[in-house]
Amino acid sequence: MNGIANEPGGRLVHADDLAASAARPRALDEIYADELDVLRVQRAMDPAAIGAITSRLDALAPAAQWARPNRTMPIQDVQLLGADAPATPTYSAPRGVTLEAYLDSAQRHEGDLQRLFGPGFDLVGRIERTLALFAGGRPVRLARSADGRAYAPCTLRRMAPGTAIAIHHDYHYDLALYQELGPTLDRRTLVSYVFTLQRPESGGELDVYGVTPTTPDAPKLPNGFQWDAAAIEARYDRQRIDCDVGDLFLLAAGRCLHSVAKVEGSRPRITLGGFLAFDKAGDEVVYWS
């Protein structure tokens, strides 16, 4: 582990651009081993195929279809397709939704995104094949409940100009929706996978900070649950990851505090993503959103 200038012994956020995934076939092991925090993979999906979808998105998915679990906090009003709520706290469900509500939503929205992408684009297959390139030979499988119901494989996320995602982590195995899945996973961390489908004119970059939820004195606001962005900016290293259409990042989202910069200009930022983890035995990669 390399140190960083303003936090001796602290974390180095490490970003790579890869033309060939062969260069990093064990990236997920590296993330789990705390040797790598974020990996950017350029052109993991074909930008032309993605552009064919994003250019028609407003017609294909009218505004009313997008879930807006943070609508009461306009600056963080990320819109979702593919599930009613993410597997994280939101402003409408600060402790996340129940497992039943989560699985109901996954069932109701099953196939929504595949229909949007059309028959020529095997969405789930592409995600699984891409993640497998970094999985050290492990199979990649969608999470399922004990009674066989599928979790949502991914969500499409639209951030309108003026919105941002505040500093947070995604280590949320204590939420009720993880009551079944959590104990089956290697919970040393949790990894976010995010493909960029549309880049805003400016802003919308991923910022990853050299501080974790367990760093002593990691700065919080007096309310005790929000991170103190000004203090974090002042005291810790920040790596800014700027993704182009088709790029993928894999991020140690359970470990690294991170945020998304405010989207600027007239074009929304559109991403497709979810989470993944090793199963407890370390034999498989399990993913969900």
Ligand X SMILES: O=C(O)CCC(=O)C(=O)O
Residues in contact with ligand X by CB under 6 A are: 157, 165, 170, 192, 194, 206, 253, 258, 260, 271, 273
Backbone angles phi, psi at 25, to 5 degrees: -70, -15
- The residues, any chain, with a CB within 8 Å of residue 195's CB and separated by 6 or more, are 44, 45, 127, 246, 247, 248, 271, 272, 273
Cβ distance to ligand X smaller for residue 6 or 42: 42
The residue among 105 and 289 lying less far from ligand X, judged by its C-beta, is 289
Provide the 10 A C-beta neighbour count for residue 265. 13
Least Å distance, CB 258 to ligand X, is 6
Smallest distance, Å, CB 119 to ligand X? 27
Closest approach, Cβ 146 to ligand X, in A, equals: 26
Backbone Cα Rg of the chain: 18
Q: Smallest distance from the beta carbon of 199 to ligand X, in angstroms?
A: 11
| Nearer Cβ to ligand X (4/251) | 251
Comparing every residue's Cβ against ligand X, the nearest one is 192
Q: What are the distances in angstroms from CA 138 to CA 5, 106, 195, 248, 279?
A: 36, 25, 21, 19, 10
CB-wise, 97 or 194, nearer to ligand X? Answer: 194
8 or 94: CB nearest ligand X? 94
